[in-house]
């Protein structure tokens, strides 16, 4: 929506629309009211002036994240805002929730604010059903879209991800090499990254041949999840006869719940049970014993995302469409990889 | 900076400035360049149009917080963004860090973006030395300023706080009533709220008369603080001869560090040592034994802050200048208030 559209919608000349916008005296009250009504109705914001002016940018980037109070997403928003600021860009934040409808609405809002680009934080923005990603692809026709920790292949969409699949593959493989025969995999998301992790677990199990006796992947709904809720769920699984001497998880909170369960059930960690988390959050160091977990290099991802965006803005020809970082396993007290591997 | 200022600075008539802004053909290249240069130089953004138009608002509120990856601040930003969105306002986020200079810069940036109000999240924005708050008071001459968890008395500044002093007073008093005679208070901030907490500790100690043998308040610098760093510091204090059978802290991370220290030193919690945290973060439930802590009603504070702001926007005469909420003590396994109180 620009000055020409407003002119067309109202039947008022662009010159007169300009005069209204500039509070010129030479406009009748009636015409003025008509133009302002159209501006309200069509959501025209004067920001478009900036583009029309040769001031080609509002120097504002939209950050969309499902829930900025989630510790992973909160850290990501922080890193991205800092990097944008260093490059003299402002951050317009929108916490969209996890519903597709609200994500799409939020994107429309961002575009109406004439942001210079949109950054989608968190792999939950990339849906497996491809038509659910249409609103992102459509947005990419207008501004560059950056995806942090998800891959969506489309023109003007740039992705930065952590290789979560390989990380979980490596963790699972280490469990198996250390003689763990009954593996339980717990996950609480069906996002792009969650799928990659599950895939890593399944691949490692498959590649292990007959070294494994039982393996079970269990999905836990992450709404209002607490460590005690996880503890209960694991106890129920055990009661139902699910056997495990190793539990691999897609998120630290799940792993802490397993540690709590083990304590209440008198199971010794790591002797009788190995546990691994994911994300290397604060809680992984706070629980007892402290968690073996995976550092997914979030700061690297966020910095790279902004640096790629700046290259896009600068029309740099060497912009990478996808950048992949490796995760790093942080071993603490809920596993004994090093000792067992060495022996 | 508005169209009249640009006219004055350039010596070009407002009509001509308007023509430049509207890309009218009837302007010489030289004049056009001059006006655009002035617009760049004086940081004039076309947003001012909105105000001049009778579209009196950009419907954008600036959120300033020191560090949105801090779990307390991250949750606050999330709650505030959600509430603003419900009221059809956008959130422009700025993570300012803790340095006064950068906070003031960030405020200037916010005002130049013509936000409708600024929300300062976290009590670190209110400095004890009053002239350090001048940039906030100055901003309040332009737009309403909301302070979350800090009190700054000045026209057009509205504050929502949690009564942290009473909460720590009550925790300390409970320790004393349960027979704890050697109290250590650990804190990691000198903010408005941190001062209130320390005050609460000191008042309770004072009011206890001769029931206490030793009390010691120790400040820990919070840069790059980890639970293990806290654990080390507490061990050093014990080595130096500081006696404690009760440790009260201003933040859960400090309390988790104390729990780690106790475990490594073979001290039994709660029999030999009481520990209390503050904030009721995830980590308070993840550590073992689980922490007694304080829920400071952050969601209430944030919702109230936005609802007050909406009243300010609506010119409601019944706007409260200060709103105070009570905190709630959450007792878990690092204390035994209930049993001891009842006996």
Phi, psi for residue B214 in degrees, rounded to 5: -135, 145
Same domain, A124 and A50: no
The pLDDT score that the predictor gives to residue B33 is 80
CB atoms within 10 A of CB A233: 19
Distance, C-alpha A155 to centroid of its chain: 20
Q: How many domains does chain A have?
A: 3
Phi, psi for residue B248 in degrees, rounded to 5: -110, 140
Classify residue A334: in a domain, yes or no: no
Q: pTM value?
A: 0.79
CB atoms within 10 A of CB A223: 8
Please indicate whether, in this complex, the C-beta atoms of B55 and A40 are within 8 angstroms of each other: yes
> What share of chain A in percent tops pLDDT 70?
91
Q: Each residue of A111-123: pLDDT tens digit?
A: 988 899 999 999 8
The pLDDT score that the predictor gives to residue A103 is 95
Question: Residue A219 contacts by C-beta under 8 Å, 6 or more apart in sequence?
Answer: A187, A188, A190
> What share of chain B in percent tops pLDDT 90?
68
Q: Each residue of B19-37: pLDDT tens digit?
A: 776 556 678 888 888 887 7
Q: Each residue of A11-41: pLDDT tens digit?
A: 888 778 777 765 566 788 888 888 877 776 6
Distance from CA of A301 to the nearest CA of B (A): 15
pLDDT score of A252 more than 50 = yes
10 Å CB burial of residue B153 (0-12, 13-18, 19+) is: exposed
Instruction: Quote the domain boundaries for residue B266.
Output: 164-296
Which of B47 and A29 is assigned the larger pLDDT?
Answer: A29
pLDDT score of B46 more than 80 = no
Buried b (16+ CB within 10 A) or exposed e, B283-298: bbbbbbbbbbbbbbbb
* β-sheet bridge partners, residue A258: none
Q: Give me B129's structure tokens.
A: 């030395």
Classify residue A279: in a domain, yes or no: yes
3-state secondary structure B103-141: HHHHHHHHHHCCCCEEEEECHHHCCCCHHHHHHHHHHHC
The pLDDT score that the predictor gives to residue B70 is 84
- Residue to mutate among A95, A97, A286, with most B CBs inside 10 A, is A286
Please indicate whether, in this complex, the C-beta atoms of B227 and A285 are within 8 angstroms of each other: yes
Among B226, B254, B236, smallest CA distance to B168 is for B254
DSSP code per residue over B22-37:
TT-SSS-HHHHHHHHH
Separation between Cα atoms, residue B77 and residue B71, nearest integer Å: 10
Q: Each residue of A196-224: pLDDT tens digit?
A: 999 999 999 999 988 999 999 999 998 78
Same domain, B70 and B22: no
Same domain, B70 and B190: no
Separation between Cα atoms, residue A189 and residue A170, nearest integer Å: 20
Residues A112, A307: contact at Cβ < 8 Å? no
Same domain, A93 and A169: no
Separation between Cα atoms, residue A47 and residue B212, nearest integer Å: 64
Among B162, B242, B243, B168, smallest CA distance to B198 is for B168
Among B59, B19, B93, B48, smallest CA distance to A47 is for B48
Buried b (16+ CB within 10 A) or exposed e, A72-82: bbbbbbbbbbb
Classify residue B47: in a domain, yes or no: yes
The pLDDT score that the predictor gives to residue B198 is 97
Separation between Cα atoms, residue B282 and residue A286, nearest integer Å: 10
From chain B, pick out residues whose CB is under 8 angstroms from the CB of A40: 55
Please indicate whether, in this complex, the C-beta atoms of A109 and B93 are within 8 angstroms of each other: no
Separation between Cα atoms, residue A191 and residue A70, nearest integer Å: 15
pLDDT score of B87 more than 60 = yes
pLDDT score of B52 more than 70 = no
By Cβ distance, the residue of A68, A74, A90 closest to B92 is A90
From chain A, pick out residues whose CB is under 8 angstroms from the CB of B277: none
If contacts are CB pairs under 8 Å, which of residues 263-302 in chain B contact chain A?
263, 281-283, 285-288
- Residue to mutate among B4, B14, B68, B222, with most A CBs inside 10 A, is B68
By Cβ distance, the residue of B53, B81, B82 closest to A21 is B53
Classify residue B240: in a domain, yes or no: yes
Q: Give me A196's structure tokens.
A: 């990659």
The confidence band for B49, taking pLDDT boundaries of 50, 70 and 90, is very low
Whether residue A31 lies within 8 A of chain B, CB to CB, comes out as no
Same domain, B168 and B157: no
3-state secondary structure A72-134: HHHHHHHHHHHHHHHCCCEEEEEECCCCHHHHHHHHHHHHHCCCCEEEEECHHHCCCCHHHHH
- Among B255, B280, B296, give the residue marking a domain's end: B296
C-alpha separations of A77 from A143, A153, B70, B78 in Å: 20, 23, 11, 11
If contacts are CB pairs under 8 Å, which of residues 1-20 in chain A contact chain B?
3, 14-15, 18-20
The pLDDT score that the predictor gives to residue A33 is 80
Please indicate whether, in this complex, the C-beta atoms of A36 and B55 are within 8 angstroms of each other: yes
Please indicate whether, in this complex, the C-beta atoms of B55 and A75 are within 8 angstroms of each other: no
Q: Which of A94-103, A261-270, B56-65 has the highest mean pLDDT?
A: A261-270
Separation between Cα atoms, residue A51 and residue A56, nearest integer Å: 4
Same domain, A65 and A152: yes
The confidence band for A51, taking pLDDT boundaries of 50, 70 and 90, is very low
- Residue to mutate among A59, A89, A93, A222, with most B CBs inside 10 A, is A93
Whether residue B44 lies within 8 A of chain A, CB to CB, comes out as no
Separation between Cα atoms, residue A175 and residue A182, nearest integer Å: 10
Residues B185, B215: contact at Cβ < 8 Å? yes
Residues A46, A36: contact at Cβ < 8 Å? no
Please indicate whether, in this complex, the C-beta atoms of B77 and A68 are within 8 angstroms of each other: yes
Which of A102 and A28 is assigned the larger pLDDT?
Answer: A102
Q: Average the pLDDT over B308-322 and give the result.
A: 91
Distance, C-alpha B175 to centroid of its chain: 28
Determine the Cα angle at A91 with ends A79 and B23, to 5°. Answer: 145
Phi, psi for residue B322 in degrees, rounded to 5: -135, 135
Separation between Cα atoms, residue A287 and residue B259, nearest integer Å: 10
Question: Residue B159 contacts by C-beta under 8 Å, 6 or more apart in sequence?
Answer: B146, B147, B150, B151, B152, B321, B322, B323
Residues A236, A263: contact at Cβ < 8 Å? no
By Cβ distance, the residue of A40, A68, A286 closest to B286 is A286
Same domain, B187 and B103: no
Residues A117, A61: contact at Cβ < 8 Å? yes
From chain B, pick out residues whose CB is under 8 angstroms from the CB of A287: 286-288
Please indicate whether, in this complex, the C-beta atoms of B113 and A92 are within 8 angstroms of each other: no
The pLDDT score that the predictor gives to residue B15 is 77
Give me the half-sphere count of Cα atoms (radius 13 Å) on the Cβ side of residue B166. 10
The pLDDT score that the predictor gives to residue A318 is 84
Separation between Cα atoms, residue B63 and residue B121, nearest integer Å: 7
Same domain, B288 and B305: no
Classify residue B343: in a domain, yes or no: no
For the ranges A12-21, B35-44, B151-160, B261-270, which has the lowest average pLDDT? B35-44
What H or E segment, with its residue span, contains residue A43? none
Q: What is the CATH number of the domain that holds B303?
A: 3.40.50.2300
The chain A residue lying nearest B66, using CA atoms, is A78
Helix (H, G, I), strand (E, B) or coil at B196: helix
Distance from CA of A159 to the nearest CA of B (A): 22
Please indicate whether, in this complex, the C-beta atoms of A18 and B15 are within 8 angstroms of each other: no
Please indicate whether, in this complex, the C-beta atoms of B85 and A93 are within 8 angstroms of each other: no
Same domain, B155 and B50: no
From chain B, pick out residues whose CB is under 8 angstroms from the CB of A54: 36
CB atoms within 10 A of CB A60: 21
The confidence band for A76, taking pLDDT boundaries of 50, 70 and 90, is very high
* Terminal Cα-to-Cα distance of chain B (whole angstroms): 69
Same domain, B83 and B155: yes
Edge-to-edge strands, sheet with B117-121: A322-325, A157-162, A145-148, A117-121, A60-65, A90-95, B90-95, B60-65, B117-121, B145-148, B157-162, B322-325
Considering chain A, what is the average pLDDT of its residues? 89
Whether residue A232 lies within 8 A of chain B, CB to CB, comes out as no
Residues B91, A77: contact at Cβ < 8 Å? no
Which of B44 and B57 is assigned the larger pLDDT?
Answer: B57
From chain B, pick out residues whose CB is under 8 angstroms from the CB of A45: 50, 58
Considering chain B, what is the average pLDDT of its residues? 89
Distance from CA of B183 to the nearest CA of A (A): 23
The confidence band for B223, taking pLDDT boundaries of 50, 70 and 90, is confident
From chain B, pick out residues whose CB is under 8 angstroms from the CB of A69: 74-75, 77-79
Q: What ipTM is given for this predicted complex?
A: 0.74
Classify residue B334: in a domain, yes or no: no
What H or E segment, with its residue span, contains residue B55? none
Same domain, B317 and B239: no
The pLDDT score that the predictor gives to residue B217 is 97
Residues A297, A256: contact at Cβ < 8 Å? no
Determine the Cα angle at B146 with ends B143 and B151, to 5°. Answer: 125
The pLDDT score that the predictor gives to residue B112 is 84
Which of B192 and A275 is assigned the larger pLDDT?
Answer: A275
- Left (φ > 0), alpha (ψ -120 to 50) or beta: where does B246 sit? beta
The pLDDT score that the predictor gives to residue B290 is 97
The pLDDT score that the predictor gives to residue B127 is 84
Q: Average the pLDDT over B205-234 and give the result.
A: 93
Question: Residue B343 contacts by C-beta under 8 Å, 6 or more apart in sequence?
Answer: none
Distance from CA of A305 to the nearest CA of B (A): 18
Classify residue B190: in a domain, yes or no: yes
The pLDDT score that the predictor gives to residue B42 is 66
The pLDDT score that the predictor gives to residue A58 is 74
Classify residue B340: in a domain, yes or no: no
Q: What is the CATH number of the domain that holds B30?
A: 1.10.260.40
Q: Each residue of A283-334: pLDDT tens digit?
A: 999 999 999 999 999 999 999 999 999 999 998 888 999 999 999 999 999 9
Same domain, A187 and A229: yes
If contacts are CB pairs under 8 Å, which of residues 136-195 in chain A contact chain B?
none
């Amino acid at each position: 929506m620009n000055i020409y559209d407003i002119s067309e919608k109202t039947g008022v000349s662009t010159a007169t629309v300009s005069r209204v916008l500039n509070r010129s005296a030479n406009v009748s009250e009636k015409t003025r009211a008509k133009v302002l009504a159209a501006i309200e109705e069509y959501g025209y914001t004067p920001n478009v002036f900036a583009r029309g002016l040769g001031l080609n940018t509002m120097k504002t980037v939209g950050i969309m994240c499902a829930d900025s109070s989630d510790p992973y997403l909160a850290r990501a928003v922080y890193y991205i805002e800092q990097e944008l600021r260093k490059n003299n860009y402002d951050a317009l934040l929108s916490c969209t929730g996890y519903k597709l409808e609200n994500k799409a609405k939020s994107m429309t809002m961002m575009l109406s604010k004439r942001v210079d680009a949109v950054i989608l934080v968190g792999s939950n923005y990339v849906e497996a059903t491809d038509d659910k990603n249409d609103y992102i692809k459509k947005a990419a026709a207008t501004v560059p879209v950056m995806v942090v920790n998800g891959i969506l292949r489309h023109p003007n969409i740039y992705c930065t991800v952590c290789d979560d699949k390989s990380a979980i593959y490596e963790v699972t493989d280490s469990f198996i090499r250390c003689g763990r025969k009954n593996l339980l995999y717990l996950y609480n998301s069906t996002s792009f990254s969650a799928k990659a992790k599950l895939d890593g677990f399944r691949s490692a199990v498959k590649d292990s041949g007959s070294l494994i006796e039982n393996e079970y992947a269990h999905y836990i709904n992450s709404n209002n999840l607490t460590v005690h809720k996880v503890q209960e769920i694991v106890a129920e699984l055990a009661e139902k006869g699910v056997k495990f001497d190793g539990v691999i998880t897609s998120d630290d909170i799940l792993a802490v719940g397993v540690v709590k369960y083990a304590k209440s059930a008198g199971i010794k960690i790591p002797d009788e049970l190995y546990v691994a988390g994911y994300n290397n959050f604060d809680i992984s160091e706070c629980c007892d014993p402290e968690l073996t977990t995976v550092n997914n290099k979030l700061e690297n991802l966020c910095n790279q995302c902004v640096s790629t965006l700046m290259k896009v803005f600068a029309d740099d020809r060497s912009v990478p469409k996808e950048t992949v970082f490796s995760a790093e396993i942080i071993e603490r007290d809920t596993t004994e990889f090093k000792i067992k591997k060495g022996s």
